[in-house]
Amino acid sequence: MKKNVKERFLEYIKWDTKSDEENLNCPSSNGQMEFAKFLVEEIKNIGIKDVSLDENGYIIANIEGELKNVPKVAFIAHMDTAPDMDGKCIDPQIIENYNGEDIILNKENNIILSNRDFPELKNYKGKTLITTRGNTLLGADDKAGISEIITAVENIINSDLKHGDIKIAFTPDEEIGRGADKFNVEKLDADFAYTIDGGEIGELEYENFNAAVCKIAINGRNVHPGSAKDKMVNSIELAMEFNSMLPNVQKPEHTEHYEGFYHLIDFKGSVEKTDLTYIIRDHCMDKFNKKKELIEDVTKYLGIKYENAKIDVNLKDQYYNMKEKIEPVKYIVDIAKEAMIDAQVEPNIKPIRGGTDGARLSFMGLPTPNIFTGGHNFHGKYEYIPVESMEKTVEVISNIVKNVSKLSK
């Protein structure tokens, strides 16, 4: 029985697929593999025979087309949800004909999705919203993308549209930066792709942050406070001083558009030892490198100032700005832009203040811009998605296939 995108989404978010950064396996959680097995059957049920699931949890499927002289296009989404918040036992609210007012997510704990805090809510008056109940995330990132891709492909299979080969792929562990680690680009065999992993309706992105993670271990010296003068080195105090030496204006809460940042995402400490974890982001490679250099400079300075302390820094690049790889084939952005216009969606081309699988895939030889899912406030209890936005994404995917079918290699 054919399902619509809303039905699929509500079914898919029941699966607990939260990724786990501490688990080095791929996928990093059993729930992802179980969901992947379910999706394989779902894909087969809509009429796709050429589908595979590998031992690392990657799904690749091919819909063979009648047209052999047109590019092969792929659509990609990720199966995991963010480890930032619980993704188990998701019990969504469905609000039909939304009235534009505040939405009570959880009356008992006074959790409210307020149009004052989230003014874009007013854009969806009269629409159907799917929200959380204030104690889990929703999972639109990126089960909305999976729902939209499968629904669009099913519609295409059941239409009379003549097209080239269409590829779909679903990946594990995107939320912990490993989504492209074991992706078999050669097996996918596409000329270009689109991740369906963006936010609000109209988003079209082909620029993203350059990204690094920085882990800092500070070893101090604990001495009884009664006799600590000139002897104690409090690693917590040193860590606080370290953080204060980074530019305050270059934090996520103070930046937008093309502005990069340092983001302290974890702090665990005692007098004897403190561990800090930062993520470092910037669209400009030169500014990105200078941010990393400042970390090194601060480390050296504090190492001299506190000679009885030891500061170890581990800096690791995660991904780079895909703009470099997309601009030579900019026509693939234009294809998506035209597809949105044809769906009566106003394209909003802007840089991603984050990353997608497409960033790394672009550097692996598969140029991959990013397209909206329709969701808002990912990774937390205020997450919501309008059903009508999901329906537009389905239409945009179908329009991309139509536009690609007019091209020749």
Token code pair at residue 227: 């006799």
pLDDT of residue 272: 95
Intervals of CATH 3.40.630.10 along the chain = 5-207+321-404
Intervals of CATH 3.30.70.360 along the chain = 210-318
Average pLDDT of span 378-406: 97
Q: What are phi and psi of 376, to 5 degrees?
A: -135, 155
What is the chain's mean pLDDT, rounded? 95
d(CA 196, CA 180): 15
pLDDT of residue 2: 86
Query: Sorting pLDDT into bands at 50, 70 and 90, what band is 159?
Result: very high
Q: What are phi and psi of 339, to 5 degrees?
A: -65, -35
Average pLDDT of span 104-128: 95
Helix (H, G, I), strand (E, B) or coil at 21: coil
Provide the pairing of β-strand 370-372 with 192-198.
parallel
Q: Tell me: pLDDT of 409 over 80.
A: no
Question: Pick from 149, 163, 165: which is nearest to 393 by CA?
Answer: 149
Sheet of 129-131: strands edge to edge? Answer: 93-95, 129-131, 384-386
d(CA 113, CA 102): 6
pLDDT of residue 86: 86
Known active-site residue 80: yes
Please tell me which residue in 80, 141, 142, 282 is annotated as part of the active site.
Answer: 80
Query: Sorting pLDDT into bands at 50, 70 and 90, what band is 394?
Result: very high
Question: Pick from 116, 154, 153, 132: which is nearest to 81 by CA?
Answer: 132
Determine how many CB atoms are found less than 10 A away from the CB of residue 227: 9
Q: Tell me: pLDDT of 269 over 80.
A: yes
pLDDT of residue 177: 86
Question: Pick from 93, 96, 99: which is nearest to 121 by CA?
Answer: 99
Percentage of residues in the chain having pLDDT higher than 90? 92
pLDDT of residue 58: 98
Percentage of residues in the chain having pLDDT higher than 70? 100
Average pLDDT of span 178-184: 94
Average pLDDT of span 151-180: 95
Contacts of 289 (CB under 8 A, 6+ apart): none
Please tell me which residue in 174, 191, 383, 395 is annotated as part of the active site.
Answer: 174
Strand ranges (E), 308-397:
310-319, 348-349, 370-372, 384-386
pLDDT of residue 357: 87
**Cα three-residue angle 363-368-371, rounded to 5 degrees:** 145
pLDDT of residue 203: 97
Average pLDDT of span 143-163: 97
pLDDT of residue 258: 94
Helix (H, G, I), strand (E, B) or coil at 329: helix
Q: Tell me: pLDDT of 356 over 90.
A: no
pLDDT of residue 220: 92
d(CA 95, CA 65): 39
pLDDT of residue 87: 87
Contacts of 70 (CB under 8 A, 6+ apart): 163, 164, 404, 405, 406, 407, 408, 409
Average pLDDT of span 109-114: 94
Sign of CA dihedral 217, 80, 87, 94: positive
**Tell me: the pLDDT tens digits for 252-266?**
999 999 999 999 999
Q: Tell me: pLDDT of 92 over 80.
A: yes
Q: Tell me: pLDDT of 148 over 90.
A: yes
Known active-site residue 102: no
**CATH superfamily of the domain spanning 5-207+321-404:** Zn peptidases (3.40.630.10)
Strand ranges (E), 286-328:
310-319
**Tell me: the pLDDT tens digits for 188-200?**
999 999 999 999 9
pLDDT of residue 84: 86
pLDDT of residue 64: 95
Tell me which fold the domain 210-318 belongs to: Alpha-Beta Plaits (3.30.70)
